[in-house]
Amino acid sequence: MVCPETSSDEPLTPAGRLFLQPETDVVIHCIIRGKNPADMDAIKSAIKSSLMVQHPRFCSLLVRDKNGFEHWRKTPIDIDQHVIVVNNRLDKSGNFIDETQGSTTTEEDDEAAVNQYVADLSVSSPLSTDKPLWELHVLPAHKCAVFRIHHSLGDGISLMSMLMANCRRTDDAEALPKMVPDKKTVIKGEKGRDWFWLVGVLWWFLKIVVFTLLFSVEFVLRSLLVSDEKTAITGGDGVELWPRKLATAKFLLDDMKLVKRAVPDTTINDVLLGMVSSGLSRYLDHRTPNALHEGLRITGVAMVNIRPQPGLQDLSKLMKSNTKARWGNKFGVILIPVYYHKGGNDPLEYLKRAKATVDKKKHSLEAYFSYKIGDLVMSLLGPKYACMLNYKLLCNTTFTLSNVAGPLEEISLAGNPLSSIKVNTSSLPQAITMHMLSYAGKVEMQILVAKDIIPDPEFLAKCFEDALLEMKEAVLRTNKA
């Protein structure tokens, strides 16, 4: 929509402009499943009174001035334009079922049907710019709803924080969801600071400098020249337009914590990367047995929140323009290599290698560098070149991976207790993207694939599930010994 600029218009951030380019036009999908049937009146009432429609991003049109620069322009909200009701039941292929013929479906069938519905949305249904860039698709027959929110409105942390601010705990209708507790920083006193302490600080600083230079150079090379060796899961230029399938890998948070405790100073992200490394090795062994050399590098892209506070944020702080924990797209990108290894290895070796990789990344400023370089290219050269570099980076890597820690306990939305919350994004030029979110002790990872390259994402999901179970069994054997 091209309109003359007005004084109340707000320009988009550089990251927001990037996500509006045709090659990197990204929509975030959040699938929420209720325990009770959907009550449309309650849903619309909850939206009208929610913090979401009070936020400027969710009640603004995207407009362009005569020079082609994008702006946000406040507009009245018509809830009926944003809420889309799909009354028919869907089958596992995403087609409507003729319920007059009689049919029975299981919970697994329901999940597969909703996944395929979202997979189809991921590649063929951009959001209309005639209204603010969000929608809610309600599927009453599946007790499910799908939030579709354009990435230019904010990153996953901003949008999940917004969703949580509108939810309440099931055991206390007035209480906000309980999130992962903040880690308290212990500040040590001056006592004991000697030459050894000084050497430790200098060594720590040297590692930050070396790893930042090393990973920053690698990031630039990946954005321009270097690409992964071609395998059975490699995507590339134009793959974002190919049909998609979506599968869900399911884990228990307690299992991940058990594995985490087996290696000192390990995090859930280390366990996730170990699972991905093992699972991809299993899958490639199945697809192309004996075709790949040991130690083959498979590079992923991970989004890192660079706000001072990790995890989901206090919405009131996000909405303040003068705070560092501000609303919007406040994330950097890091490259995460995993390596192909044939079966038969100690399952915990995948975790140890993953931890070594992540530890090096923690001692670098790669995420901040990628954020600043993207901002600089957008400001100096414009969205065309920023988009070209971002798109090239995705074409030169194999997968995208993200992880968000969700509520610790069950929550409700619009009075309906939620049984699951899952997230994914619309398609990218990679053939595989993985987005993990924890909720009330359960962890679910959405695996979106280009189905002409990876025709069996359900098997890939099982590879990841089996990888965690093997690590868990290895830990239990060690504990018994």
**Residue 151 annotated in active site:** yes
Q: For every residue of 55-84, which 3-state class applies, written as one string? A: CHHHHEEEEECCCCCEEEEECCCCHHHHEE
Cβ-proximal residues to 50 (8 Å cutoff; 6+ apart), any chain: 166
CA atoms of 215 and 362, how far apart (whole Å): 11
Other CB atoms closer than 10 Å to residue 226's CB: what's the count? 12
Tokens 């909703």 identify what position?
114
- Sort strands 134-139 and 83-85 into parallel, antiparallel or unpaired: parallel
Is the Cβ–Cβ distance between 143 and 114 less than 8 Å?
no
| C-alpha angle 83-86-91 in degrees, rounded to nearest 5 | 145
What 3-state class would DSSP assign to 178? coil
DSSP one-letter code for 473:
H
Is the Cβ–Cβ distance between 253 and 403 less than 8 Å?
no
Token duo for residue 51 = 């913090």
| Catalytic residue selected from 29, 137, 150, 151 | 151
Q: How far is CA 323 from CA 306, 331, 371, 372, 455, in A?
A: 13, 15, 18, 18, 45
CA atoms of 148 and 58, how far apart (whole Å): 12
Is the Cβ–Cβ distance between 263 and 355 less than 8 Å?
yes
For the chain, give the number of residues.
481
Residue of 67, 56, 4, 27 lying closest to 383 (CA atoms)? 67
Cβ-proximal residues to 43 (8 Å cutoff; 6+ apart), any chain: 83, 136, 138, 145, 414
Is the Cβ–Cβ distance between 374 and 306 less than 8 Å?
no
CA atoms of 308 and 387, how far apart (whole Å): 27
Quick one: angle between helices 253-260 and 457-480, nearest 10? 50
DSSP 97-111: P-GGG-----HHHHH
State in Å, rounded, how far the first CA of the chain is from the last one.
68
Active site residues: 151
